[in-house]
Chains A and B, each alone.
Chain A
């Protein structure tokens, strides 16, 4: 049996495949709902911060000295990252749940190309959303805090908020790409969202139950906690910014590689 070697044919332009994926995401109403969910949660988080500042104002000086900081990176962004993660998951799991993955792959038979195009689109949307929501919530927090001192004010100077915003935008991006990779592997929205929820919300909360020394070691490598470490912000966690960036990169690469492998190897 002879099979001709693959001829060098003019392939699809990666730019066009990315444009097609952007069109798919844009014309998916659930994506807009999730994005609106992230926006709504930003407002909810800011309301919580407002109440936190209110109770700070009524607290005694001793209580004020040990007050938790009114930091949107803690109160707002982990949940926003979870929402944007869901968006990353849906970018591929919806194709499996509706079966539209078949026509998609008939149009773009090279599966890694398809996943790469989705990666570009999800990365852009997630990073832009991360910058937007982190920026807005920190700006709002700055305005609400006014000239209140630390510890309730996490930033001695307003410019100190910028690295934190960048750090949370970065973790939002990573959350969404990990979700995309897992979605390509698991093919189920429910399973992917459950894993992302565990990674971004459940495990970070449960980690507090561990003994202190172990807690710090575990918590330091959890995605939401990597945001302040990337920013080099003052925190109890253990990693330096370059190591934190390396850990986040590892999450992304491992999840996307697993997704690419799962998508390439299994029948559709």
Chain B
């Protein structure tokens, strides 16, 4: 369980985190979303004690990270897959981290095979692709069999097969009762992986909700095309629907479902060329939310 309370982090005149609070609970995958620069990495670094918050606190199972006696058995983190010594082999890379916790070589070998790096275990990391480094970073995060897993943009650089592998792995970890918190700036990735989402923008919480609830916020309308568009619009408005003209032609109708629109048109003998129910994608919802946050801040700055 991760409990982030009122975190604020100021770098000089920049406010990277602004009173951010959220929780990541065991047994589910929590997606940590926000545009680049929203403060996701800063938050994760505060959680594991690399950055000191200006105010507020991040608790790991009720206490600060630095107070955990043997942290790798409690928290596994992948913060930056590139943060490795290029001259070390994959095996040595993990061994350097594992040695302090007395995690043995059989665990390292098993994990390297588990993440698909068994064949290159004794090759230098310098020659690894970003995808391979991500896999190595995930192996490092799992070294101590931790109950909490934090991953910063874990699917960056992975191919389609790798992304599916991460998705399945995260699902498995959560189903074992672990707390999984993973950040991304791409909504579509999260839509498939996460059960719960925390969305931040400019260091502030925008939404903390379940993926289902977020999907329920879809803005719905119907696209209607007709050669007698003006007449149809008037009739629909008369029936209480709101109608907007689409830039590419056609009417965007809300407040009337496709059946009602069709019936109304038939009654007035107006031909219909297209009738398409539309839902905003999760991506649109997310972009909307984060745009608003950005606008809000931009407006605030110019005041």
B68 and A19 form a contact (CB under 8 A): no
B83 and A100 form a contact (CB under 8 A): yes
B residues less than 8 Å from A268 (CB atoms): 45, 50-51
| Interface status of A69 (Cβ within 8 A of chain B) | no
B83 and A267 form a contact (CB under 8 A): no
Could you tell me which residues of chain B, from 97 to 126, have a CB within 8 Å of some CB in chain A? 97-102
Residue from A1, A9, A100 within 8 A of B85 (CB atoms):
A100
B residues less than 8 Å from A11 (CB atoms): 69-70
Could you tell me which residues of chain B, from 19 to 77, have a CB within 8 Å of some CB in chain A? 45, 48-52, 57, 59, 62-72, 75, 77
| Interface status of A3 (Cβ within 8 A of chain B) | yes
| Interface status of B259 (Cβ within 8 A of chain A) | no
B residues less than 8 Å from A157 (CB atoms): none
Can you list 23 A-B pairs with a CB-CB distance of less than 8 A?
A: A17-B100, A20-B97, A20-B98, A27-B87, A27-B92, A28-B85, A98-B83, A98-B86, A99-B84, A100-B84, A100-B85, A102-B50, A102-B79, A103-B79, A103-B84, A104-B97, A106-B48, A106-B77, A106-B79, A109-B49, A267-B51, A267-B52, A268-B45
| Interface status of B167 (Cβ within 8 A of chain A) | no
CA distance in complex: A110, B85 (Å): 21
A residues less than 8 Å from B62 (CB atoms): 4
| Interface status of A205 (Cβ within 8 A of chain B) | no
Task: Please name 6 further chain A to chain B contacts, defined as beta carbons within 8 Å, in addition to the given A6-B63, A106-B50, sorted by A numbering.
Answer: A4-B63, A23-B95, A100-B84, A103-B84, A105-B48, A107-B97
Chain A residue at minimum C-beta to C-beta distance from B70: A12
Residue from A3, A9, A13, A103 within 8 A of B59 (CB atoms):
A3
A residues less than 8 Å from B51 (CB atoms): 267-268
Min CB distance A195 to B, Å, is 23
A residues less than 8 Å from B85 (CB atoms): 27-28, 94, 98, 100
CA distance in complex: A23, B52 (Å): 29
Min CB distance B147 to A, Å, is 14
| Interface status of A63 (Cβ within 8 A of chain B) | no
A110 and B97 form a contact (CB under 8 A): no
Give me the interface of B with A, judged by CB distance under 8 Å.
Answer: 5-6, 45, 48-52, 57, 59, 62-72, 75, 77, 79-80, 82-89, 92, 95-102, 140
A residues less than 8 Å from B63 (CB atoms): 3-4, 6-7
Could you tell me which residues of chain A, from 67 to 108, have a CB within 8 Å of some CB in chain B? 94, 98-108
B140 and A103 form a contact (CB under 8 A): yes
Min CB distance A228 to B, Å, is 38
A residues less than 8 Å from B77 (CB atoms): 103, 106
Interface string of A1-45 (1 = CB under 8 A from B): 101101101111100110110011001111000000000000000
